[in-house]
A and B are shown apart, each in its own frame.
Chain A
């Protein structure tokens, strides 16, 4: 059937072969709407924030003063920015170290337990955090972490671990980690679903062959399944890296980067400078610096993990 159809098509346009230049123009024509949208809503804002970073501007007044690279030299010696940068790194590291293994683990667990009805419930339950809005989660956990009325401190005291109690969001040493715990709680289900889909995509004959060759469950996952889903893992790592580098929501709702910048991230610092402080020029500089940092690091990561690229 297919061959016949193709012949019919060829016969209907006997002397109309598109020349290469014509094809190019057709392609451009069809891509144009997307290119315009991309240009207006993605590329232009990026270019324009780079441009704004060269000005001293409060974001409101009709005039702005060109100051060259002054904002950039200020950024270079801005301790708070570099602290935020380090905090972003802590977030990246902990997100990768916690969410990736936990996501794989939960996915394996769900695949294993699929035969039991009860696990189908768990699949939905595990996914709940992903369904809630970040602001709701932030407010919820603000109450969970409340030193007096929360859940954690009273629970620790009841368990006789009074020395472990902290003012989770008010202590500069632990505030960042308190929020990161919630970030992991929120995002692990996302990776779980991603990995579960990948595990499901592995052909069953591979699994059967492995068992015929005498592999156990653990051997199967370690030697067959993991290498099979490496492409997905790579994608997940890149997503997590980018997401962590430009992270904003929960930090903003739970600590606003405080106390005393202890949990400041690049994005929260950018917001504080650009809006409450009315320093749009410097805020744009931070945004541009973030863009460069995220771009470079994702490129480096993509190149480093190129050998794991497989289509699943």
Chain B
């Protein structure tokens, strides 16, 4: 990676996931993806709503929508990681990225810290006020059951990774061009987290070469084709953000441009919990999210279950 300054091709943050002992072990090929709020501008206009910048405002918006029979947030949560985005953002806004990192890495934090409980409470408040579509725990994101609500204008907002832009472009270009708006996750009043922080990943789908490979140089050359200028251009037209330096200048689409701005201004990027944690804990986290949103467990129980799972995993 060091040769010919090849690594300068990429956004530095995209290499942080594969850098150990100052050596780079992978080529980031796919998109930069962060979770944002997508919203339907026409619905907001119809009810005279302003895009919320704080959690209080978001609750008011949700209330107005709910009172008018519009689902505030579309959620397909059979898939489970979809709901985790709300939780990750709330924890980050309440206590900053350190809360999760310290709990997950066992560096003096705990999943029973007040931030995690408060995030759970705020989510359940949203659920109880009817801000989500009915039966969300049985809907499948992968078969588009969440987006159907958006397209049918049954729901006004969705929190989802920015890859959703590609889905919007290919499935409903009309909606994409006329009504789609993008928002950063709002600030939480009194929270310690910087409201510019984002949840997601800068660069993903890393490609690696096995150390037993007989032709490492040729293999590496092949990998460079996966992210050469041509494939970068194609990815941008399909609504994705390749993790290459200077990508902001290459993008003209206003929506993608907005997402790039959010990434560039971000104080920190929190990787998805279920990918940061070891697979077993990632699965446990997703199950806990589904139960939390389904109001089957209290926020305190959710926090305790996270803590028990990780404590058991590390044999504490």
Contacts and interface: CB of A to CB of B under 8 A. Distances in A.
Interface of A: 139, 142-143, 145-149, 166-172, 175, 255-256, 258-261, 272, 276-279
Contacts of A167: 134-138
A168 B135 contact: yes
15 contacts: A142-B143, A143-B143, A146-B139, A148-B133, A148-B154, A167-B134, A167-B135, A167-B136, A168-B138, A169-B78, A169-B138, A170-B78, A170-B138, A256-B78, A259-B294
A171 B138 contact: yes
Interface stretch (B37-45, B145-153, B244-252): B145-153
A279 B133 CA distance: 34
Interface in B92-149: 133-140, 143, 145, 148-149
Given A142-B145, A146-B148, A260-B291, 4 more contacts: A258-B80, A260-B290, A276-B279, A277-B279
The bracket for how many chain B residues form the interface is: 20 to 34
A68 B78 CA distance: 36
A130 to B, nearest CB: 23
Contacts of A148: 133-134, 148-149, 152, 154
B56 interface: no
Contacts of B279: 276-278
A182 to B, nearest CB: 13
B177 interface: no
Interchain residue pairs A-B with the least CB separation, the first 8: A167-B135, A170-B138, A169-B138, A170-B135, A259-B137, A147-B135, A170-B137, A260-B291
Contacts of A277: 279-280, 283
B288 to A, nearest CB: 9
B148 A149 contact: yes
A169 B135 contact: yes
Nearest to B148: A149
User: Which of A145, A170, A277: most chain B Cβ within 10 A?
Assistant: A170
Given A277-B280, A278-B279, A259 B290 contact: yes
A272 B135 contact: no
B154 to A, nearest CB: 6
Nearest to B283: A277
B215 to A, nearest CB: 24
Interface in B69-109: 77-78, 80
Nearest to B284: A277
B296 interface: yes
B278 to A, nearest CB: 8
A143 B138 CA distance: 11
A260 B295 CA distance: 10
B249 to A, nearest CB: 40
Nearest to B80: A258
Contacts of A276: 279, 283
A166 B148 CA distance: 19
B287 interface: yes
B282 to A, nearest CB: 8
B143 A139 contact: yes
Contacts of B152: 148-149
Contact of A258 (B78, B134, B145): B78
A256 B140 CA distance: 10
